[in-house]
Chain A
Amino acid sequence: MNDDDRDLREMFARLRREDHAHVPPFRLPASRPVSPWALPVKVAAAAAVILVAIVLAFPHSGSRRPPVQLVDLGDAAWHSPTDFLLNTPGDELLRTIPPIGSPQGWAPIDLQDGSPASESTRTRRNPS
C-alpha cells in the first residue's frame, strides 16, 4: 500500500470500526454442528451394522447347499437311451478281421507279367 491508497484505507477503517460494533460475543462451540446429511448417514450406518450382525448370526442361511452325494465312479455305468442307433446292421464285419491263411479261390498274382499264377486265379477272374 502507498499514500495513493489512503482514501481506500480510510473507507475500510471506517467499515471496520462499524463492523466491530456488531461482532457477536465470543463463545466456544458447545457441540459439533449437525450437517444436513447427518441423519441419512446415521440411518445408513445403523442399517449396515444390523445387516452385518444378521450375516454374522446366521452365517450359512443365505448359501445353504444340498448335501453332497459321493458316487463311486468305478461302479457307475450309464447308457444313453439312443445307444441302439449306433448298432448298424453288419457292424460286426467292420469289427472283425478276416483270417489270413489259405482261403479257397485265392491265389497270389505274378507281378512280372500280370498273368495269374494258377488255375484257381483264372477261375476267380472269370467265374462264368
Chain B
Amino acid sequence: MGIARASVEAELERNHADCFAWAMACCGRDRNEAEDVLQASYLKVLDGRAVFGSRSSVKTWLFGVIRRTAAEHRRWRALWRLRSTSIAERADPSADPSGVLAESDSSARLISTLATLPERQRQVIHLVFYQDLSIAEAAAVLGISIGTARTHYERGKQRLRELLTLEDVR
C-alpha cells in the first residue's frame, strides 16, 4: 500500500464529509446504514483488507471501497431479512430517510427526484454534481467504462431535468 497508518487516518478524516455523503447516496440516504457502511469501510482501509493501488486518487479509491461495502451490506441485510422477521419490527416504516438531512424545499425536492432515477444514473449524477468528480473519476469509482459512465450521466441529467421541470409545473 505504501501509505503509513497515520497518513491513512489523516486522509480518512480529510475526506470524511464527502465519504459520508457518498455512503448516504449508496444507502438510499439511510443515515444509520450509511454510518455503519462508513465504519466498515474505514475498518477495511485500516486493517489492510482494502489496499490502495495508486491507480487513482485516494478519494476515488475510498469511494470505491465505500460502494463495495455498501453493496455487501445490502446483501447481508437481505439475507438477514430472510432469516428474521424481527428486522421489520425494528425498522420504523414511518421514517423517511430522504428527508433526514435536507432542510430546504429545493434540497428535499432534489433528493426525492434523484430517488426516482435508476441506481447507476443516480450514482453518476451524485459523483459528478455533488462530489465534483469528472466522468472518468466517476467511472473509476463505479468500476465501469468511461463511455458507460458518460451514457448514465447524460441520461440521468436529462431525466433529472425533466422531472424537476414537471415538479415546477405542478
Contact = CB atoms under 8 A, between A and B. Distances in A.
Whether both chains belong to one complex is answered with yes
Interface residues of B, number: 36
Interface residues of A, number: 24
B85 interface: no
Nearest to A40: B83
B149 to A, nearest CB: 14
A8 interface: yes
A83 interface: no
Interface string A97-111: 000000000000000
B107 A18 contact: yes
Contacts of B80: 36
A26 B84 CA distance: 32
A28 B5 CA distance: 12
Nearest to B87: A36
B107 A23 contact: no
Contacts of B42: 28-29
B39 A18 contact: no
Contact of B46 (A5, A15, A29, A33): A29
B17 interface: yes
B21 interface: yes
B130 A15 contact: yes
A59 interface: no
A122 to B, nearest CB: 109
Contacts of B35: 24
B9 A15 contact: no
Nearest to A36: B80
B104 A12 contact: no
Given A26-B13, A33-B43, A11 B101 contact: no
A41 to B, nearest CB: 13
Contact of A19 (B46, B101, B157, B161): B101
A1 interface: yes
Interface in A44-60: none
A16 B130 contact: yes
Interface in A1-46: 1, 5, 8-9, 11-12, 14-16, 18-24, 26, 28-29, 32-33, 35-37
Contacts of A9: 129
Q: Which 9 A-B pairs have the closest CB atoms?
A: A12-B129, A26-B16, A29-B43, A15-B107, A36-B80, A23-B17, A29-B39, A22-B101, A18-B103
Interface of A: 1, 5, 8-9, 11-12, 14-16, 18-24, 26, 28-29, 32-33, 35-37
